[in-house]
Structure 1
Amino acid sequence: MSVIHRLAGAAYGTHLGDQIALVSVPLVAALAFNASAELIGLLVACQSMAHLLGSIPFGMLVDRRQLRSLAITSSLIALSGFTGAGFGVWTGSVVWFGAGITLAGFGTVLFALSALSILPKAVPPAGLARANAAIETPKALCSFAVPLVVGLIVARVPAPLIYAAAACAALVALAFTASLPAFETSQAPRVSRITRILEGGRYVLAHKLLLAISLCAIFWNLAFAALLVVLVPTIRDIYHFDPGTFGVALSAFGLAAVSGSWLSGRIAGRIAPSFILLFGPGSSAVAAACLTQIGPSSPDTLLYACFFGLGFGPSMWLIAQNSVRQLVTPPALLGRVNAVIQTAIYGIRPLGALIGGAVAGAAGPEAGIGFVALAFAASFAVSLFSGLRQVVSYESLKAPEAA
């Protein structure tokens, strides 16, 4: 079994557990804890807090430690977190529940950073786009299947069992990460931690493509995190749809991600990356604008179409920008650069969740949807007026020999 196949197997386990948590947190909070919009926002923020707190420390580890060991550790962390979340639901403790999903998030962050640094060591530059698609496909498939299943069973199955399933997924990831070979580690001279962090941050800020990718993703993830919080009250109070619509909508998002990831791996060498880097955030802005037009008399299929639009283009964008990152960054800096960008991308999600909950709680879910649409539009604007329009091919991108 090749390294890519083993990494893909680990990705299936990791993202299966992560998607179970992503979908079930707002639903379990509402059903098991009778949570308010503000508390739902806080719990969703807890889940994504790991990206804010863990990305940079983990990025420094990735640049210096054995990647196989870090991948195994990521699975063990996720396993512990999902077990703790299930215990929190079983005992009725919101604190334990929040702590468990936060810990599990650290496992997902460490795996993602490890995988991004493993790929350039396992495949040549010309194969990076296809390899990235192979690693992103598990996430896309899980984001399609998990919301549909969780949406159908969440009210019928004891909530602790949902997190037991997530723990089993982490065990699968552990089995695959344990089968990975050892990889060569960096032999760069030791410098202070602060200096190493600043090196990654300075490189991102000075590189016009990496900076544009970061800003685009910041606004997109701000919007998406807010949407996860405001969607449940919007479905209930504005759209007047069945609560199970939440899971089906996220499943439509996942189906779009599967389709986009599949297509991206096949057209990587046939279409200019600039098109994908603009199409992803642009399609999101259009889909989010359509969310503001849904009303009580609208069919629920319109909501599903909007979420398909939110998932299709961005899944292609994610693969394209991963390839850009890996190609323009010196290998010795890749872990820290990825960590800085991951912090920017996913670290903004707690803020988005809190803002979404605050806006929906203070001004109603309709205002929350309006905020979401504006944030998605800002994401597209950043891409449109940046150097991402000029990326004509992956072959034209090259990192300097030394950081």
Structure 2
Amino acid sequence: MLDGTFEAHRMNTLSRLTGAAYGTHLADQVALVAVPLVAALAFDASPQLIGVLVACQSSAHLLGSIPFGILVDQARLRILLIASALLLFTGATGATTSILFGTATGFGVSITLAGFGTVLFSLTALSIVPRVSDSTSLAGANAAIEVPRALCSFAVPLTVGLAISDVSAWVIFATAGLGAGLSLICTTTMPEFETAPKPTGPILARIIEGGRYVVGHDLLLPIFLCAIFWNLAFAALLVALVPVIQDVYRFDPGTFGIALAAFGAGAFIGTSLARRVADKIAPKVVLLFGPGSSAVASACLLLIGAGTPPVALYVCFFILGFGPSMWLIAQNSVRQLVSPPVMLGRVNAVIQTAIYGVRPLGALLGGMVAGIGGPKTALMLATISFGASFAVSLLSGLRCIDSYASIKRPLISD
């Protein structure tokens, strides 16, 4: 009876957390896709201003991950969830108001606030899931809260692309406000969660402690390196893709948007599949398949030529979304299991900061290589980096994880 009550409580909590994830990722994806479009249409922005506004939206990950990771390790998680929704709602409604009044500065501030809300939600959710799941149900729970992100990454770009010329720009961000409102409703109904003992010591020392734990762990380090190589590759690929499509493949420029939609579709299907087979496939298979399939898909992009049907490009991007989405869920589960509860927020923050920090580097590197050696050379750079992400996984302890239950969970005092 007690087991039945706990399972009902767990499912109810995950259901509310998933609802909040739908609202959060809807708002976040609207901002991600619509910011450059709205900047051009609503503010008649120059390329420089568009770049600044896009940077405002993405800077939250770099600026917020470490401070929020520390906060997650010592604050009440329910309060942090509500705070994330309030930040998101304030940012989305502020962006809508700024568009109506034609204030680019207010728009930049608002989308930055919304970005902080997304970062805080993601880090908090990653610390909540292991508190309501055991090792056998952890991967399925992680998949459940990843489905909203994957679905929104597919549906939102298509919808915004179709609607942007037919509706007012403020309506787009009003939709983001509705998503933030859904997140706020769901987070306010969440229960309280057991918190780990609060860490002590100077903040800088705690940040260094989290980084040292990641670098010194035989499973977290390859996850960290794999994520860095993969995100550097993907950022370089996106920079090179438009000139490759035009100058090498000779496709219509619109195939770029369809390729991104195919990526989103692959991520959604991969996440949905991972939710169903998480307890049937050995983690090591997923942890190798994700980066390995990316390396193969990227290598196939080098084989596409002027006479190749565009569907080949879409298949490659579908695979780039499919395998890594399953990998993301598996590695989330691994790092939740191997990180001491008192340090989980900082571990997640260190890895997330590295991921989002390397994306601008990948974009700059891809642009530089494309400028010097041509777009196909930049495509080769991306392929090499995808291959490095697979090599890191293949040569590490990740290839030996037969089940989540076999992973040793550290003590709180570790």
Using a 3 Å threshold, how does the CA distance of structure 1 residues 104 and 30 change in structure 2: closer, same or farther?
same
Which of 1 and 2 has higher RCO (CA within 8 Å, sep 6+)? 1
For the pair 1:10 / 2:12, whether they are aligned, the reply is: no
Question: Conserved in 2, the CA contact under 8 Å of 1:48 and 1:347?
Answer: no
Select 1:162's aligned residue among 154, 165, 172: 172
Deviation at 1:381, TM superposition (A): 2.0
Aligned equivalents of 1:29 and 1:223: distance in 2?
27
Question: Conserved in 2, the CA contact under 8 Å of 1:45 and 1:353?
Answer: no
Structure 1 unaligned spans of 5+ = none
For the pair 1:47 / 2:57, whether they are aligned, the reply is: yes
SS at match of 2:60: helix
Question: Conserved in 1, the CA contact under 8 Å of 2:140 and 2:275?
Answer: yes
Aligned to 1:288: 298
Which residue identity is paired with 1:290? C
Aligned to 2:261: 251
Deviation at 1:13, TM superposition (A): 0.7
Using a 3 Å threshold, how does the CA distance of structure 1 residues 102 and 246 change in structure 2: closer, same or farther?
farther
Aligned to 1:333: 343
After TM superposition, the score normalised by the length of structure 2 is 0.88
Aligned equivalents of 1:307 and 1:41: distance in 2?
25
Deviation at 1:280, TM superposition (A): 0.2
Question: Conserved in 2, the CA contact under 8 Å of 1:49 and 1:347?
Answer: no
Aligned equivalents of 1:361 and 1:81: distance in 2?
36
Deviation by residue 1:183-226 (Cα, 9 ceiling, x = unmatched): 12233353221222122111111101101001100111122233
Select 1:126's aligned residue among 136, 141, 145: 136
Aligned equivalents of 2:122 and 2:55: distance in 1?
19
Aligned equivalents of 1:40 and 1:290: distance in 2?
33
Select 2:220's aligned residue among 206, 210, 215: 210
For the pair 1:353 / 2:363, whether they are aligned, the reply is: yes
Using a 3 Å threshold, how does the CA distance of structure 1 residues 324 and 4 change in structure 2: closer, same or farther?
same
Select 2:273's aligned residue among 249, 263, 272: 263
Deviates more, 1:326-335 or 1:245-254: 245-254
Aligned to 1:179: 189
Aligned equivalents of 2:338 and 2:297: distance in 1?
31
Aligned equivalents of 1:66 and 1:297: distance in 2?
58
**Percent of aligned pairs sharing the same letter:** 62
Question: Conserved in 2, the CA contact under 8 Å of 1:137 and 1:261?
Answer: yes
For the pair 1:226 / 2:224, whether they are aligned, the reply is: no
Aligned equivalents of 2:248 and 2:35: distance in 1?
22
For the pair 1:193 / 2:231, whether they are aligned, the reply is: no
Question: Conserved in 2, the CA contact under 8 Å of 1:41 and 1:229?
Answer: no
Deviation at 1:239, TM superposition (A): 4.1
Using a 3 Å threshold, how does the CA distance of structure 1 residues 289 and 30 change in structure 2: closer, same or farther?
farther
Using a 3 Å threshold, how does the CA distance of structure 1 residues 366 and 261 change in structure 2: closer, same or farther?
same
Number of corresponding residues: 402
Aligned equivalents of 1:144 and 1:251: distance in 2?
5
SS at match of 1:2: helix
Deviation at 1:257, TM superposition (A): 1.3
After TM superposition, the score normalised by the length of structure 1 is 0.90
Deviation at 1:313, TM superposition (A): 0.5
Aligned equivalents of 1:243 and 1:95: distance in 2?
31
Question: Conserved in 2, the CA contact under 8 Å of 1:204 and 1:210?
Answer: yes
Deviates more, 1:312-321 or 1:270-279: 270-279
Question: Conserved in 2, the CA contact under 8 Å of 1:151 and 1:244?
Answer: no
Deviation by residue 1:280-322 (Cα, 9 ceiling, x = unmatched): 0111112122233334443222221111010111011011001
Question: Conserved in 2, the CA contact under 8 Å of 1:79 and 1:104?
Answer: yes
Question: Conserved in 2, the CA contact under 8 Å of 1:26 and 1:229?
Answer: no
Using a 3 Å threshold, how does the CA distance of structure 1 residues 66 and 341 change in structure 2: closer, same or farther?
same
Aligned equivalents of 1:392 and 1:135: distance in 2?
23
Using a 3 Å threshold, how does the CA distance of structure 1 residues 269 and 288 change in structure 2: closer, same or farther?
same
Aligned to 1:139: 149
Aligned to 2:91: 81
Question: Conserved in 2, the CA contact under 8 Å of 1:46 and 1:350?
Answer: no
Question: Conserved in 1, the CA contact under 8 Å of 2:21 and 2:145?
Answer: yes
Aligned to 2:409: 399
Deviation by residue 1:336-365 (Cα, 9 ceiling, x = unmatched): 111111111223223333434455566654
Structure 2 unaligned spans of 5+ = 1-10
Question: Conserved in 1, the CA contact under 8 Å of 2:91 and 2:112?
Answer: yes
Deviates more, 1:8-17 or 1:72-81: 72-81
Aligned to 2:324: 314
Aligned to 1:275: 285
Question: Conserved in 2, the CA contact under 8 Å of 1:46 and 1:101?
Answer: yes
Select the structure of larger CA radius of gyration.
Answer: 2
Aligned to 1:101: 111
The CA RMSD measured in Å over matched residues stands at 2.7
Aligned equivalents of 2:355 and 2:58: distance in 1?
10
Which residue identity is paired with 2:220? L
Aligned equivalents of 2:185 and 2:202: distance in 1?
35
